Structure 1
């Protein structure tokens, strides 16, 4: 009897040399991929199945929940399994070396070598959290600031924690005045699609050090701070009787669904449950 082929669905997002993917396989027969290499670094996180790689002359079994890494330019082959007994779901990231080179240089505050990872996978809950936050920021079409911050958080943590040639990072110094300038800008433009580049330039810091200092001074990321400002204004508008759709637009959210998701996370209830006024201002 012929084995039924697995059904495969893929979601993908691409921006400026970074490709993010989410794969979903049903059970069934699959065709192993050929050995290959690519310019990009490749990272993968399996949600519910063990990963497998032939890499650097070694067979690696990647535990579920571990982030795999394939270095730029290295020949590798994925699993040679021909049948999946259960559904498999995993996320992938392909990123050009220029991104890691640039982040390493900002961390060191001088030219730095390309990060090198000597192992094939990392088991680290925080690293996984940062990777998934990046995937979510891309998939939900959140603000540019949220995507930018998630990207820098993930790659800088990865390099600092796991690169064998990780650059030395200087100790944090108080830069409250610089962060105040960035906060003032966020308060004045919280509905705008602000980039990390813009805020870092206003603060007079590199993007890497801006992210570190902002979180140290305020306890949250710059993107979370922007979202808090939006939610605070949204609550005021809802109380005044504005419709949920109008509030979402007026406070800079992508759409009503995006607004509702963030509102419930910050307030604990959906926007519709926040007030019970019947008079709606159009």
Structure 2
């Protein structure tokens, strides 16, 4: 019996929501490191079993399961069973997009969109709808068909599990100093930053800053900075910029360092991602 291999396809479709990232993956050996996104992760399991950690919660997802992970929520993912792997599809919509959709659906409600704290939902019908939308987004040459498929799946998800409340984000907001540190990182990620630079900006010692950042963000400073750089690089790659230029422009030491980091976090090389974007 031939052993399965990792097969991960990640791309951005500029004609959906002005730029929607989409994923279709079959993972066996690949393991997602602890990371987060500034967008929603809407994932549906197609086959196998995925072991994961979302914030402090650990669990296993099976076919028919839908994950709704809000922005900023750290998570991991790997195969629940040795040599078996898991197949899934995912959409990564910007919070503003889902907020706009929810305002149209719940016209008489105030507040903001909230999916509650349950991020793992057993809903085979919705899972199938999300998987189908990703298939259409991958294969259809017709932008209207791709947009309608994604809109339709997200519409069903929001109607079933969304509500407009004043509760805000599932993740507790960081304190003022860490928020200032995040702003500094986003403004200077393309530079050769040192931990001392960021800590001094928020008037903390390096050691105190490292501990406080990890406690509030659930990832290290280096991990967060790497993610910011990679997200910025994806924007450049999707726009058609060469891999070498994307690496230099986002603060990586060289193209090899950039490629290794990109593959570790996303399971694909920068060049493969760039080629898949449209």
TM-score for the superposition, normalised by structure 2:
0.50
Task: For 2:79 and 2:8, locate their aligned partners in 1 and report how far apart those are by CA, in whole Å.
Answer: 20
Task: For 2:126 and 2:7, locate their aligned partners in 1 and report how far apart those are by CA, in whole Å.
Answer: 25
Q: Which residue number in structure 1 is paired with residue 89 of structure 2? A: 91
Kept in 2: contact 1:104–1:112 (CA 8 A): no
Change in 2 beyond 3 A, CA 1:44/1:148: same
* Root-mean-square deviation (Å): 2.8
Number of equivalent positions: 160
Summarize deviations over 1:125-174 as a string: whole Å, max 9, x none: 3212321221122112242222222122111111111124389xxxxxxx
Change in 2 beyond 3 A, CA 1:31/1:21: closer
Which structure's CA Rg is the greater one?
Answer: 1
Q: Which residue number in structure 2 is paired with residue 106 of structure 1? A: 104
The higher-RCO structure (CA 8 Å, 6+ apart) is 2
SS of the equivalent of 2:112 reads: coil
| 1:84 shift after superposition | 3.2
Structure 1 alignment gaps of length 5 or more? 168-282
Kept in 1: contact 2:46–2:64 (CA 8 A): yes
Change in 2 beyond 3 A, CA 1:166/1:66: farther
Kept in 2: contact 1:33–1:80 (CA 8 A): no
Task: For 1:112 and 1:149, locate their aligned partners in 2 and report how far apart those are by CA, in whole Å.
Answer: 27
| 1:45 shift after superposition | 1.9
Match of 1:14 among 12, 15, 22: 12
TM-score for the superposition, normalised by structure 1:
0.50
Matches within 5 A, 1:156-171: 156-165=155-164
Q: Which residue number in structure 2 is paired with residue 24 of structure 1? A: 26
Kept in 2: contact 1:20–1:135 (CA 8 A): yes
